[in-house]
Chains A and B, each alone.
Chain A
Amino acid sequence: MIRKKLETVPSSLTQIKLIQEDLDAKIKPQLWDPKTMLSNLSIMEEKVHQLQELVQLIVSKSSINQSNEFLIQQQQLVTADLTSIIIQLISTAGSLLPNVKHPHFSPNPNPNPNTSDDNNSSDGNTHTTHKNKVSKIEDHSNETDHMDVHEEHDDDVDEGENLPPGSYEILQLEKDEILAPHTHFCVICGKGFKRDANLRMHMRGHGDEYKTAAALAKPHKDQGSEVKLIKRYSCPYIGCKRNKDHKKFQPLKTILCVKNHYKRTHCDKSYTCSRCNTKKFSVIADLKTHEKHCGRDRWICSCGTTFSRKDKLFGHIALFQGHTPAIPIEESKGGGTIGGHDHDVHDHNHNHDQDQDHGDNYNNNIQGSKEVGFFDFNFNSNGSGVDPNICFSPLNMESNTNKFQEFPRSLFEDSDNFSFLLSESCNYLWKNGGESSYKDL
């Protein structure tokens, strides 16, 4: 049974485990200095004693009537002391951290370094002869730049890292593995977990033998391995710059980077923002980040693309010929006298919502951008530069549509630039499209 379960584990995973074991064998835990540890411990001991005395003092005096504030003061004092002790404890423990890096490895006996070397060279996954220079910040970041904000988007980027080729191991996970939701599987029932700790907790249910302290403890390994070799990851997508066969290969730092990179770059964007119905993401964290800012995109280009920052809008306009900044709706319509009209626009959008089932990407986007404009109205109502002198007249609307009609000339005159466009921007067709869809209604 166990064997069977083991077989269900993706082969590449086992492969990678093998490699890592080999690696671990080579890596010696970073040497921690017992002397410093000792001195740290004694300092902490001293502090604990001091605190003890203080608390004793408080206890002895507590019989006497004391005001509430005084008690609170004492409490704060004690808390502060405790906090400093805890911090010291953590920092002391931190010096041991390198030893705890690969928790899901069973504590293996020290393998022979020589054999591991042999293993490496025979293993097709490692390339020790790179000609690449891993220095530049990678281009993919630009792409994500366009998609507004990514808090995690640093993951993909090896900021200024300049590792000489060959100084690090290259690992490559397969597609299935990258996309697998879980990385830790129960060998008995096959249930998957994201974290090893959860797996261990789960294992307790499979019998008493898993309940021992040894089994529950974080697996320690790496003892005895001497050299710490840096690990870097390669994307399995052939032709990708993050793929090890690429001429200008730039490795990814961690498994998380691999996952995010692969999803962002080579997967469909399946998460759609529920607010604007426009933006799509493949990493759920990106969606969440976007949703925080969605609707705040005050800066709109005539092509419909919205920006949360003015400088981004101007950068965009500088890049593309014929794109102009769009005047926010509330200004072009001149003040708040036209609330009813604005409502109309919104109603149109509503209809679009219903039409959307046909998968008309176009409408979808135009509608999205309009909606942003509508949001805008709300955001700006408290004041920036709305000219109260301008009254609404039918002409206003006309000039507005004029502006949109003005756009049918070829939007992307420099096709060179266009090729670089993010996949999303092709959805952002110009508002002219919106115009026609209006007429359809």
Chain B
Amino acid sequence: MKKQKCIREDAETKIKPFDFLSEEIVCSILDYLKSNPFDLKSFSLVSKSFYSIESCHRKTLKPFPRTSNDHRHDQLKKLLKRYPFLTRLDLSLCPRITDGCLSYITNSCGKTLKSIDLSRSKFFTHVGLSYLVSNCFNLVDIDLSNAIHLNDTAAAAVATCRSLERLCLTRCKSLTDIGIGCIAVGCSNLRVLSLKWCLGVSDLGVALIGVKCKQIRSLDLSHLLITEKCLPSLLKLQYLEDLTLEGCCGINDESLVSLKQGWTSLKTLNMSYCENVTHVGVSSLTSTATCLQTLNLSYGPIITLPFSESLQKFSQLQSIRLDGCQVTCSGLKGIGNWCVSLKEISLSKCLGVTDDGLSSIVMKHTDLRKLDITCCRKITQVSIAHVTKSCGSLVSLKMESCTLVPSEAFFLIGQNCHFLEELDLTDNDVDDEGLKFISKCSHLSVLKLGICLNISDDGLIYIGNGCQKLRELDLYRSIEITDTGISVVAHGCPSLEMMNVSYCENITDSSLISLSNCSNLNTLECRGCPRITSLGLRAIAIRCKQIIKLDIKKCFNVNDSGMIPLAQFSHNLRQINLSYSSVTDVGLLYLASLGCLQSMTVLHMEGLTPVGLAATLLGCGGLMKVKLQSSFRTLLPRLVIDHLESRGCVFHWRDKFFQAELDPKCWKLQAEDVE
């Protein structure tokens, strides 16, 4: 008896060290742990008090369904019971929120809830929404994106939420002016509003927002069929800072020229894909929008000298995007003559970018942080020399497919741009020597080396040793890479989150085993790596529990045994591509237990039968998108397809023939031809 008591006392003294910590300290420790959900889990498993502290401390929750057929939302209910002080609830991973579920949420969260994200669900109606806004009257943020089914009544229900400050209605296509009118009148405190793709909304609704919601800071009107009629009332929004008019074809030069008054508060303007706006309209804005800092004119007007000179009147401009515009050399030189010093320039896919023009820009704007010259195929080493010489503080450089740039140019990048965090060298001539210099950029977190045929393990070893902050590495079709290089990277860069080794045919399981060292890995693409087997996949599944996206298309040696650990450990898995693999009905059925799985591509899998597929599809309750061979369209029972579609799942039927070799349009063949 006494002995037992002693043991218990011992146990109590053992726990003591944690008890000394005050709740405040524990809470601040929790704050540090926030970034990793697994850390938080371990924390709450320490003791009952830690568990309860964690439960009370947690403010945001992003639940995902553990099992795929939780129709009564028992898991969600348990979670809500455990976390009573939630202020933000992100339900974007729960595609099947119903009215009943919403009413449960509102009852348990009540007035503490400030923010809710319902952007992926299609199963609630205005009834649930009116519950929500009447019980959680402190809500300031509602995200209803993709709720195609919501109508004006739902909008009227939302409109009763007077405190609302942020509302996202992207792709709510059934909304009309009436609903928007209700929101405009009801939610007069709105600061951020997105009406992107709300095709039922016209000038009248938008104009009413301009009249009623005086507090608006940010407004997204992309792809609406609006004309100049709503612009005068938008001008009345005195706090408007961020306006997005992407793809608004109804807005043309005349409507912009006719604006007398200016948006003096406007800081960000996006007029990309406005096909009816030319330099005339934009120039007319220069006199009115004087505070503009960010301007996006992608796929818009031709950049000529007079135009770039007129843009100079935006005296506070810091960032300009001219993606896909046609530019002239003098136009670029005009930008080079601006008095302001730009921080960001994007010339991605611009036609007419030459060494001359680009050099004159970078020589003037020496403070440049971000430069995007993707697919500017005419530029050579001259430009790169100027860029690296004058823009030492460059943080991001994207130069995919600048094919004329020789391998020597990459020395300069490594030597001069030490602050680089993002570098895209896809389809360039960079070699191992170049990578040696690039590895000096120790802040590098995103590195894309896809289709760089000249790099090998040697170069990758430099990277693995030099760039320890790497989060994203793309080695797509860099065919010289082997396990050696991957293992150095995997051990040198433990914070890797995204990895692409597709079509690197020399990769084997040992690469995956070494990659499993990176516990933060959430995306792994290893298409067309025939040497990978279920064993490697098992290592990834067990150790990389945050994996969200997995692409093992054309990994012919992956079979059902690889699916078992996935089903067991990868609860976060949302997207999987199993095409051409050796997985059969059995393996697929294992996956059906994954509650989070939203997208599945299963093409050309010989072991797949209609019965097994139907069972899997019915089992995966959260599936939103399935890519199937069109032969299954007739083979699957009609009722199953109907049922899945009514659950919100979209089928993509593909009719491609089985291809033994790689894509016919592949770059590789062309490359070989050249050689």
Q: Show the binding face of A for B, using Cβ within 8 Å.
A: 310-311, 314, 317-318, 322-328, 331-332, 334, 385, 387, 389-390, 393, 395-396, 399, 402-403, 406
Contacts and interface: CB of A to CB of B under 8 A. Distances in A.
B207 A314 contact: yes
Contact of B127 (A317, A326, A328, A395): A395
A385 B186 contact: no
Nearest to A323: B185
Main secondary structure of the interface of B (DSSP, over half): helix
A385 B176 contact: yes
A375 B168 CA distance: 34
A28 to B, nearest CB: 48
Contacts of A322: 185
Contacts of B156: 324, 327, 332, 403
B208 interface: yes
B40 interface: no
A387 B149 contact: yes
B126 interface: yes
A93 to B, nearest CB: 47
B172 to A, nearest CB: 12
Contacts of A403: 156
Contacts of A328: 178
B204 A314 contact: yes
A417 to B, nearest CB: 13
A331 B204 contact: no
Nearest to B156: A327
Contact of B125 (A311, A326, A390): A390
A43 to B, nearest CB: 48
Nearest to A322: B185
Interface string B132-166: 00000000000000000101110011011000000
B211 interface: yes
B530 interface: no
A332 B151 CA distance: 9
A331 B160 contact: no
A310 B177 contact: yes
Nearest to B175: A385
Contact of A331 (B152, B177, B185): B152
7 contacts: A324-B182, A325-B181, A328-B178, A331-B153, A385-B152, A393-B127, A395-B127
A393 B99 CA distance: 12
Nearest to B99: A395
Nearest to B183: A324
B178 A325 contact: yes
Nearest to B200: A385
Contacts of B174: 385, 387
B212 interface: yes
Contacts of B200: 385
A326 to B, nearest CB: 8
Nearest to A311: B204
B182 A399 contact: no
Contacts of A389: 125, 149
A323 B151 CA distance: 20
Given A310-B177, A393-B127, 4 more contacts: A327-B156, A385-B152, A385-B176, A387-B151
Interface of B: 125-127, 130, 149, 151-153, 156-157, 159-160, 174, 176-179, 181-182, 185-186, 200, 204-205, 207-208, 211-212, 233
A402 B186 CA distance: 14
Contacts of B127: 393, 395-396, 399
A406 B126 CA distance: 17
A377 to B, nearest CB: 15
A403 B133 CA distance: 13
Contacts of A402: 130, 160
B177 A314 contact: yes
B181 A327 contact: no
Contacts of A310: 177, 204
Contact of B211 (A318, A327, A331): A318
A23 B588 CA distance: 101
A324 B159 contact: yes
Nearest to A395: B127
B153 A317 contact: no
Contacts of B157: 399
A385 B151 contact: yes
Please list the 4 inter-chain residue pairs (A to B) with the smallest Cβ-Cβ separation, ordered nearest first: A325-B181, A324-B185, A314-B204, A325-B178
B155 to A, nearest CB: 9
Nearest to B182: A324
Contacts of A406: 160
A327 B160 contact: no
B208 A317 contact: yes
B623 to A, nearest CB: 20
B185 A399 contact: no
B571 to A, nearest CB: 31
Given A314-B181, A399-B157, A331 B130 contact: no
A324 B204 CA distance: 13
Contact of B126 (A314, A326, A399): A399
Nearest to A333: B153
A202 to B, nearest CB: 55
Q: In the complex, which of the residues A325, A387, A389, A396 has the most CB atoms of chain B within 10 Å of its own CB atom?
A: A325
A325 B211 contact: no
A327 B153 contact: yes
Contacts of A385: 151-152, 174, 176, 200
Nearest to A387: B151
B128 to A, nearest CB: 9
Contact of B178 (A311, A327, A390, A396): A327
A396 B127 CA distance: 7
Nearest to B159: A324
Contacts of B126: 390, 399
Nearest to B131: A395
A310 B178 CA distance: 9
Contacts of B159: 324
A317 B125 CA distance: 26
A396 B156 CA distance: 12
A402 B176 CA distance: 21
Contacts of A334: 153
A334 B125 CA distance: 11
B158 to A, nearest CB: 12
Given A324-B186, A402-B130, A318 B151 contact: no
A332 B160 contact: no
Contacts of A326: 178
Nearest to A300: B178
Nearest to A319: B211
A396 B139 CA distance: 22
A327 B183 CA distance: 12
Contacts of B186: 324
Contacts of B178: 325-328
Given A324-B159, A402-B160, A317 B185 contact: yes
A408 to B, nearest CB: 14
A348 to B, nearest CB: 22
Contacts of B153: 327, 331-332, 334, 390, 399
Contact of A318 (B125, B179, B208): B208
A325 B130 CA distance: 17
B655 to A, nearest CB: 31
B233 to A, nearest CB: 8
A392 B179 CA distance: 20
Nearest to A390: B125
Contacts of B205: 314
Nearest to B211: A318
A206 to B, nearest CB: 63
Nearest to A320: B185
A324 B157 CA distance: 12
Contacts of B130: 395, 399, 402
Nearest to B202: A310
A326 B152 CA distance: 9
Contacts of A311: 204
A425 to B, nearest CB: 18
Nearest to A403: B156
B181 A317 contact: yes
Contacts of A331: 151-153
